Structure 1
Amino acid sequence: MHCHAISEAARRLGISPDTLRYYERIGLLPAVARAPSGARLYREGDLGRLRFIRRAQRMGFTLAEIQTLLNVRDAPDDARAEVRALAARKLGEIEAALDELAELLARCGGSETPCPILEAMNEAVRGTHESAGCTPT
């Protein structure tokens, strides 16, 4: 069975070795095999799980949501309804973000000063500061 050192696994996945250690520390990746020296060794199954994690991240899932997906994937029973519900929630979040961006783009004439997109985003930040009892400087 071929195993990959952490540097090789990280290179193949396009992430840092620290990210691999972090995923293991928070439980996204079960404890990996170790060499007699203590170095981590990644099997093909580990790389497949990591590819799943990376794809879910590209789709906009948070690490907590990815953990849920992995738990369902690893469960012996059929939990497609749970995965479908999680995917539907994520799609709703993405659609809401797209709607907000489309609204901001519609307000931007391209030559106005100040930019309405930046102003709208600043208003959101000001609201956050004010609700925390702070005033921006």
Structure 2
Amino acid sequence: MKIGDLAKASSTPVETIRYYERQGLMPMPARSEGNFRVYEASHLERLQFIRHCRGLDMSLDEVRELLRFRDAPESDCGDVNALLDAHIGHVSTRIRELRALERQLKELRQRCTDARSADRCGILHGLSAAAQEKTPVGTKAHGHLRSVHAH
């Protein structure tokens, strides 16, 4: 199949497929006489695996490591377990950060409960005050909002 067919079959943009190839996640396909990429069912299966891992918010490095183990089925999967445990830890941290962000946004939202002129908007004033204070990310000081979403 050509790259457009692979893209359609996997619901993946062509540029993403090419990116995964450049990153070494997808093996380079054979070429036809007309120099078109020719993909096999194994490419589709691998692409679906990559997309599923990315859907689980795994980094490209984590996906690369999982593919390395997948490509060596006789290897011990202890490192796969460790990788997933570490990823779960990252997800737990991110959930905590997002909950803190949600609390901060709700606190900010309470600063302006009704429609008024923008120069009297409590939300805009709160955002401006927080932006000017330069307090470290993820902290609260003087009752102003701090961002935990710094990455």
TM range (shorter): 0.7 to 0.9
Q: Distance in 2 between matches of 1:96 and 1:9?
A: 35
Q: Distance in 1 between matches of 2:61 and 2:75?
A: 20
Shift of 1:26: 1.9
| Counterpart pick for 1:53 among 50, 55, 63 | 50
1:6 aligns with 2:3: yes
Higher helix share: 1
1:96 aligns with 2:122: no
Shift of 1:31: 1.5
User: Which 10-residue stretch deviates more, 104-113 or 10-19?
Assistant: 104-113
Q: Could you list the structure 1 runs, at least 4 aligned residues long, displaced by more than 6 angstroms after superposition.
A: none
Shift of 1:69: 0.4
Question: After superposition, where does 1:7-46 map in structure 2 within 5 Å?
Answer: 7-46=4-43
| Counterpart pick for 2:84 among 83, 87, 90 | 87
Classify 1:11/1:77 alpha carbon distance in 2 versus 1 (closer, same or farther; 3 Å): same
What letter is aligned with 2:11?
G
User: Which 10-residue stretch deviates more, 43-52 or 76-85?
Assistant: 76-85
What letter is aligned with 1:46?
H
Q: Distance in 1 between matches of 2:73 and 2:101?
A: 45
Shift of 1:101: 1.2
User: Which 10-residue stretch deviates more, 81-90 or 7-16?
Assistant: 7-16
Shift of 1:62: 0.9
Q: Which runs of no fewer than 5 residues in structure 2 stay unpaired?
A: 112-122, 131-137, 139-144
Tell me the TM-score normalised to structure 1 length. 0.78
Q: Which runs of no fewer than 5 residues in structure 1 stay unpaired?
A: 129-137
Deviations 1:83-119 (A, max 9, x none): 11111111100110101111222342332223689x4
Tell me the TM-score normalised to structure 2 length. 0.71
User: Which 10-residue stretch deviates more, 104-113 or 62-71?
Assistant: 104-113
Q: Aligned with 1:92: secondary structure?
A: helix
Q: Aligned with 1:23: secondary structure?
A: helix
Q: Distance in 1 between matches of 2:51 and 2:102?
A: 29
Shift of 1:76: 4.0
2:146 maps to which residue?
Answer: 120
The alignment yields a C-alpha RMSD, in angstroms, of 2.5
Q: Distance in 1 between matches of 2:46 and 2:27?
A: 10
